[in-house]
Amino acid sequence: PSAMRELLIEVPNIRWADIGGLDDLKLKLRQAVEWPLKHSSSFRRLGVKPPAGVLLYGPPGCSKTMIAKALATESSLNFLSIKGPELFSKFVGESERAVRDLFTKARQVAPSIIFFDEMDAIGGERGSGEANVHERVLAQLLTELDGVVPLKSVTILAATNRPDRMDRALLRPGRLDRLIYVPLPDFETRLQIIELKLSKMSVSDINSHSLAARTEGFSGAELQALCHEAALQALEKDLDCAAVSMYNFENVLKDFMPRTPQSLLK
Ligand code: ATP
């Protein structure tokens, strides 16, 4: 059976407006990915070369996947995504073919984005029993990346929490040659994320500024978890409760510890 059948192609439905804060970063990415696609002749005329591929790096739960999806949505690109480790586990014995099929498929459904999540898994773990497969998958991937012509409608995006573990060959010019750090949210970004999440809940008397101020060090995913748990708590106390209150948030915050290790921050 072809590994291709396992590839899910989607047109995601995440808009820039669904992602709180990060305005500079959104602009940078639009310049790097959206503009060259939309205005390719202007870019060619002025001799501006878009990056071959973009690597988003930074701590977990800070919207790297959302950003990749928003780029696809806002530019109407088909979205193919694969997690690094899946290239080895899902298609045992045919990992190289899986890589080839992925790029073939992406060209067939172009304009498209291939999003590699957990990219550090590729080319990592050298020297283990799996070394051979890793070498071969990496080699195949490099071949495919070198065959991608910028502006030719397949865009490469990758994400990792551990840029230090990435194989250097992947980062050479013409491959993933644009690195963008996606940080933990600052106050303004936390405020926007919290307000986005609250807008989808029934709440009363919530001081979102105070919540943003008291969640320093939280990732976006942790802010999402905080809202989720506050709502669960409100329900636990009273299934008929009409709205989540500041009191519920206070209670959850008492025991909530952000978990991003210092080592993953720049
Ligand atoms: P990982 O490295 O673990 O794959 P990631 O950086 O790709 O994480 P996402 O999967 O994009 O993170 O985000 C996880 C969840 O956190 C999202 O589904 C969303 O609910 C929330 N989130 C994170 N950042 C934001 C943000 N800026 N605005 C709104 N929601 C956010």
- Backbone φ and ψ for 117, nearest 5 degrees, come out as -90, 155
Predicted pLDDT at 2: 47
What pTM does this model have? Answer: 0.91
d(CA 3, CA 121): 19
- Backbone φ and ψ for 234, nearest 5 degrees, come out as -60, -40
How many C-beta atoms lie closer than 10 Å to residue 27's C-beta? 12
* C-alpha 255 – ligand 1 centre gap (Å): 22
User: Residue 115 in contact with residue 159, Cβ under 8 Å?
Assistant: yes
Could you read off the pLDDT tens digit of each residue along the chain, which spans 266 residues? 444 456 778 888 999 999 999 999 999 999 888 888 888 889 889 998 888 899 999 999 999 999 999 999 998 899 999 998 888 766 666 788 888 889 999 999 988 999 999 998 886 555 455 557 788 888 889 999 998 766 568 899 999 999 998 989 999 998 999 999 999 999 999 999 999 999 999 999 999 999 999 999 999 999 999 999 999 999 999 999 899 999 999 999 999 999 999 999 98
153 lines ligand 1 (CB under 6 A): no
State whether the Cα torsion 83-74-174-153 is positive or negative.
Answer: positive
Predicted pLDDT at 91: 60
Q: Say what angle helices 95-108 and 131-147 make with each other, to 10 degrees.
A: 20
- Is residue 204 classed exposed, middle or buried when 0-12, 13-18 and 19+ CB atoms within 10 A define those classes? exposed
Predicted pLDDT at 92: 61
Q: Say what angle helices 220-237 and 187-198 make with each other, to 10 degrees.
A: 40
Mutate to test the pocket of ligand 1, among 18, 63, 86 (most ligand atoms within 8 A of CB): 63
225 lines ligand 1 (CB under 6 A): no
3-state DSSP call for residue 198? Answer: helix
d(CA 75, CA 72): 5
Predicted pLDDT at 131: 58
Predicted pLDDT at 203: 94
